[in-house]
Chain A
Amino acid sequence: MRGADYLIKRTGAALLTVFVAITLNFILFRAVPGNAITALRCLHCTKQFKAALEKELGLDKPMLQQYTIYLGNLAQGDLGTSLVDRRPVWQNLKTPILNTLPMLAVATIVSVVIGVAAGVMSAWRRGTRVDRINTWTALSFYAMPTQWIGLMIVFYVALRFGFPVAGIRDPALGILEEPSTWTVINDRIRHLILPALTLGIGLYGEYALIVRSSMLETLGEDYVLTARAKGLKNLRIVYRHGLRNAMLPLVTLIALSFGYILAGAIVIEEVFSYPGIGLATIDAIDRRDYPVLQGAFLLLTLTVIFFNFVADLLYFKLDPRVTA
């Protein structure tokens, strides 16, 4: 029963957060001076022309009415229509999201693998030079701005190892002849490596520090001492008795840090001209394309809320003490 209460509370909180996010999303873009129409600058954008366009797009309606229409459309899954190209917002965002996801997935894998390895090594060799080097390296990367790491990689890694530094595809690919599927996938992977590596390096420090701290706690438990006394091999002690029990905070941290990962992706995409959701958002900001911007913010917010909700559920599943 306590579990059901917990679930209902968390679901309610998540839904309330979604509603607040939607409302803030609506207000935020209307709080800045002018609107999408007043900001237009072109040879034919006379005051009369802008007034007509405002009427056409419903921007002349009272704010409350605009808000009601916005909510009604959202309820039907309609994120609106781009002011700039008049395409449905989802059509504008679908491809960038699909471009960003593989990069985020690779970055997360890179950061988790390096973070866990470094954290475990530090904890196991606590107080040694290895621990100090690992900890300071992790702290340094954790503190560095991701875009700076990206620029260093562009300067010092890309040219030396021949990796592309911009975009998602070789611009010459397919112009004169049709490339094979393997060539396309290979090219896609090559373009993904540096952005994912940058994001992964930016993230790994935090994971390494958490794993180290959690492992130190676990390795001090009696059952680990017992395992050692039984003469088990170090690798087995670390993996079966230490790491498995130390993973709880890491799993929740990964879920909770998804918002940060997305924010990092926006910066990375700017550095590497990577056409994902980050660049699409920046483009919408530049052009004051409110519907696209609202759609992007809403999707990003919902994703973060969803993963926070998942983290709550994971806590519930993995650590019964939260409902105690």
Chain B
Amino acid sequence: MKLRWIGLGLTALLVAGGCASTPQDSGGGGGGAGSSGILKLGTVDYIDTLNPFIAIESQAYNAYIMQYPQLVQYGPGLELEGDWAKSWENTPDGLKWTFHLEPGAKWSDGEPMTAADAAWTGNTIIKYGAGPTSALAVALNQIKEFTAPDDDTLVIEYKKPIGNVLAQMEQFYIFPQHVWSKHTGNKGKDIKTFQPEKELPTVAGGAYFIDQYEKKGTTVFKPNRNFYGPESNAEAVALIYYTNSTSMIADLRAGTLDWIESVPTNAVDALESEPGITVESTGSSQVDNITFNANPVKPENRELLDPKVREALEYATNRQEIIDVVHNGYAKPWANLISSQSGDFVNPEIKPLPYDPDKANQILDSLGYEMRDGVRWAPSTSGEFAQPAHPMSYEMIVPGSLNYNGDRYFEIIKDNWAQVGVELQNKPGGDSAQAYALETAGDYTKFDLAAWDWVGYIDPDFMLSVMTKGQWFSWNDTGYNDPSYDRMYEKQATLVNPKERRDLVWEMQAKLARERPYIHTVQEEIIMAYRDEWSGIYPDLGAYCKCYYTSPQKTQ
């Protein structure tokens, strides 16, 4: 009798939980229902919100690309190609760009999708660009106005010509006016509190609409039958969030998952020997670094502001050891803020210094940093930023949210630098937000070093912007503050001639390489694994192209 009551109680809990967990928060993973045609994609990165005005996570941006029309997008080979826009032209002065859109397009709810939607989206972002819509306004820099002379033509007028119009337009998502215009009240502030996840399915014009959303669970993308481009080969795409790679890999091996986006390097060998699974690696734009506090007014350990000291420390850093130990070989030595994915924008003169502790010791000796009991000492200084003599011993912030083994990375650098008399201690940084709070504390005056990385866009504009004073407390994580650099950044954005812009971008990279606010160590590779039943997977096009989801098809 008592057991029966326990059983009834348990059933009641399960039913209550079951009811409560529809679709919100029902978690990832699965039991292998084996539905044909559903592409089940595992990830450890999640979609934090369906509102692009408040999103942070990169997975969220992938979701926007899948749902919303863009004028252009990156295609195979990472070349810009038309998305909703089929062709475009501009006036010789570069102030007016005209985009010709695919005619007769419709939103997923059947409403007509016209240039007026694009004009409304653009003008709304510009109108509230200093406030609620600022997250997306960066891509519309220097735009004066969007107009729609007819349903299929969009005209963009610029205040000043800029050199990267198409790359900027790749970050311009077009929203359905009939849905989003209801949420612009309160001087535009309502747009940030709008939660599309509460009004599912989403109204989309891109390849998919979202039918089910769970922040840390399963999000279901269903094909938009009104999409203007190539239809999805899969009947649906289920993006499944995992809190850890171990469960995700177990589900791939069990066949519950079809594809996982990021394989830990230590699991590659095991997966490669698994029949029926293909492991593929490709270049990414992620560059790992050692971040220096470059704020010119930092009060302590000011010797770290000296580019010669940083040069010595670069000589003392063994990149190959980092590649072998931290990345199991899935990375390459790199010394530039801009990744190799930016192609012609990468200054070919900037190359990693060889690992040479003797050379590092020689430089530090010549600078007068004496070695005492295995640790070098910085001499006392006078003047505005006087500091007493002190050992070259520093804390390095190591965020816990790194997608590589930050502690191993730190240990290698610590051992490397110990050989030249520089001591390091690990300062756990917590998640990205906490680590950034540590860096920016006291207006960038409280930290010395951090271990981190950057994942940039293909166009270098964003990565160059992170070194400007304007990005202090936003993206700038070094405290670097050089007005001449800021002027170069402003200028490069307005250079229309590609060669002139490239030359200035190269010059900016060269300046950063000389001053070394970072020691860039390696450029990582992305490793994906998928089951052989699926083909047409483009590992390098995540968050770049709608084909990332539309192209995979089941072949068995």
Contacts and interface: CB of A to CB of B under 8 A. Distances in A.
A288 interface: yes
Interface residues on A, range: 35 or more
A18 B60 CA distance: 39
Given A47-B473, A102-B10, A185-B15, A275 B246 contact: no
Nearest to B13: A102
Contacts of B138: 43-44
Nearest to B193: A86
Contacts of A50: 473
B21 A95 contact: yes
Given A40-B433, A85-B49, A189-B14, A165 B20 contact: no
A172 B42 CA distance: 13
A155 interface: yes
A283 B254 CA distance: 27
Given A44-B137, A98-B17, A159-B250, 20 more contacts: A41-B433, A43-B138, A43-B474, A44-B135, A44-B474, A47-B472, A101-B16, A154-B246, A162-B254, A164-B32, A164-B256, A166-B242, A168-B25, A169-B217, A176-B235, A188-B17, A188-B21, A191-B29, A273-B243, A283-B215
B404 interface: no
B258 to A, nearest CB: 10
A95 B26 CA distance: 9
Interface in B1-31: 6, 9-10, 13-18, 20-21, 23-31
B241 interface: yes
A147 to B, nearest CB: 10
Contacts of B431: 285-286
Interface string B425-468: 00000011110111011000000000000000000000000000
Instruction: Please classify the interface of chain B as helix (H, G, I), strand (E, B), loop, or mixed, using the class held by over half of its residues.
Output: mixed
B453 to A, nearest CB: 14
25 contacts: A33-B437, A41-B433, A43-B475, A45-B473, A46-B474, A47-B472, A47-B473, A49-B131, A49-B134, A85-B195, A101-B13, A164-B29, A167-B27, A167-B218, A168-B27, A169-B26, A170-B30, A172-B40, A185-B15, A273-B27, A273-B244, A275-B27, A275-B214, A282-B243, A283-B216
Interface string A267-283: 00111111100011011
Nearest to A50: B473
A34 interface: yes
B238 A270 contact: no
B21 A168 contact: yes
A115 B40 CA distance: 39
Interface residues of B, number: 76
A113 B518 CA distance: 58
A245 interface: no
A42 interface: yes
Contacts of A84: 48
A190 interface: yes
A34 B56 CA distance: 19
Given A166-B251, A167-B27, A172-B38, A102 B218 contact: no
A163 B241 CA distance: 18
Contact of B38 (A101, A165, A176): A176
A259 interface: no
A99 B23 CA distance: 12
Contacts of A162: 31-32, 254
Given A102-B10, A159-B253, A190 B35 contact: no
Contacts of A285: 431
Given A46-B473, A275-B26, A169 B135 contact: no
A155 B35 CA distance: 24
B207 interface: no
A74 interface: no
A97 to B, nearest CB: 9
Sorted nearest first, the 5 A-B pairs with minimum C-beta distance are A166-B29, A167-B29, A167-B27, A44-B134, A34-B437
B20 A98 contact: yes
Interface of B: 6, 9-10, 13-18, 20-21, 23-35, 37-38, 40, 48-49, 56, 131, 134-135, 137-138, 193, 195, 211-212, 214-218, 220, 222, 235-236, 238, 240-244, 246-248, 250-251, 253-254, 256, 401, 431-434, 436-438, 440-441, 472-475
A283 B48 CA distance: 10
Nearest to A183: B33
A171 B17 contact: no
A94 interface: yes
Nearest to A101: B13
B380 to A, nearest CB: 30
Nearest to B37: A176
A241 B507 CA distance: 88
A88 interface: no
Contacts of A173: 30, 33
Contacts of A271: 243-244, 246-247
A104 B438 CA distance: 37
A235 interface: no
A243 to B, nearest CB: 14
A285 B400 CA distance: 13
Contacts of A41: 56, 432-433, 436, 474-475
A172 B238 contact: yes
Nearest to A94: B20
A279 B138 CA distance: 34
A197 B214 CA distance: 25
B254 A176 contact: no
Which of A158, A189, A190, A192 has the most chain B CB atoms closer than 10 A to its own CB?
A158
A256 to B, nearest CB: 21
A46 B130 CA distance: 10
A105 B254 CA distance: 28
A98 B251 CA distance: 25
A154 B247 CA distance: 7
A156 B419 CA distance: 44
A185 B14 CA distance: 8
B254 A158 contact: yes
A185 B433 contact: no
A192 B27 CA distance: 12
A151 interface: yes
Nearest to B3: A109
Given A33-B441, A105-B9, A185-B15, A191 B31 contact: yes
B456 to A, nearest CB: 13
B134 A43 contact: yes
Interface string A245-277: 000000000000000000000000111111100
A167 B247 CA distance: 10
Contacts of A85: 49, 195
A80 interface: no
Contacts of A272: 29, 247
Nearest to A280: B25
Contacts of B10: 102, 105-106, 109
A165 B440 contact: no
Contacts of A167: 26-30, 217-218, 240
Please indicate which of the listed interface residues B10, B38, B256 has the most CB atoms of chain A within 10 Å of its own CB: B256
Contacts of A105: 9-10, 13
Contacts of A101: 13, 16-17
Contacts of B441: 33-34
A188 B30 contact: no
Contacts of A287: 433
A273 B29 CA distance: 8
